[in-house]
A = this chain, B = another copy of it.
Amino acid sequence: MILLFGFGGVGRTYAELLYERTGLRLCAVFDSGGGVAKKDGFASDEVKQLLKIPRGAAAKSGVGRAATLDEALDICQVVVDVSPPNYETAEPALSLYRRALSRGLAVVTANKAPLALAFRELAHRRLYYKATVMAGTPLVDLLMGLPPQKALRVRGILNGSTNYVMTRVYKDGVPFEKAVEEAKELGILEPDPRLDLEGLDPAAKLVIIANTLGAPFALRDVVRRPLAPLGPVTRYLATLDLEAGRASVEPVRLAPDDPIHVDYTMNAVEIVTEVNNILVKGKGAGRRETALVLLNDTLKALRG
């Protein structure tokens, strides 16, 4: 049974799909206002009720009973974290992971911040995190299939929001400032657009990729330059040089036929290994995409 930590767009889609596609149940739901729990798990109609409440009101929903996190951890097996990233402290998620993992629970997460700040501490067989990178595309599972094949370099377009902006500028001829405004209005940029435009989001993803490949980077190790239109076809490129120990996120002009050149909200990653040159393209965002990959990790967590 699952403790859902975060009950916004992705969390609600996850809850719906969990009941539609698996026999699993939620035993607790927490949002910014507290949480509710139920020992035998919420019935399907209780989850439908929860889906109707406003954000932040889970504890007052009257579904199940109001509970503390510790009470919820006592009755659940897996924590699924879909709370927003806090790149200053990674809290409250980081403390929750520590408590859950030390009690033997599994943690499944779409929240990049705890991994970007404390990957080495958290690296644990019971931590599942493929929803943090290229949501909807299981890149992390592919990367885990490489060692001892040595990865040498990674280049990636890891942030769909800024890629949308750059595509509007260089494919559709929209001025940069106008493209940024448009992306804000469409909800493509994060509520705090600096996470995208100053590269924290793609830098966090790059840190997660690096650690998955065995290189102990943290967020502060990634050199970041803000997004800027430098001429055709500028893309916000994340680059990892595992031999030199360097990581960066910066606007770069790509050749139009560069294999990682993708448009709008698509993501692309190229991994050069000692014997291979792997290219993966796929969707990098979306509630349903993220929720489906979280479900795959949830099923894995319960199996293994």
Contacts and interface: CB of A to CB of B under 8 A. Distances in A.
A147 B294 CA distance: 10
Chain A interface size, under 10 / 10 to 19 / 20 to 34 / 35 or more: 35 or more
Interface in A248-283: 259, 273, 275-283
How many chain copies does the complex carry? 2
Nearest to A271: B282
A145 B149 contact: no
A202 interface: no
A296 interface: yes
With most chain B CB atoms within 10 A of its CB, the pick from A130, A141, A143 is: A141
Interface stretch (A1-9, A52-60, A166-174, A285-293): A285-293
Contacts of A141: 138, 141-142, 144-145
Interface in A117-166: 130, 136-149
Interface of A: 17, 21-22, 130, 136-149, 259, 273, 275-283, 286, 288-289, 292-293, 295-296, 299, 304
23 contacts: A17-B148, A136-B273, A138-B141, A138-B145, A139-B142, A140-B145, A141-B141, A141-B144, A142-B142, A142-B145, A145-B293, A147-B299, A148-B295, A148-B299, A149-B295, A259-B281, A275-B286, A275-B292, A276-B282, A276-B283, A278-B282, A279-B281, A304-B304
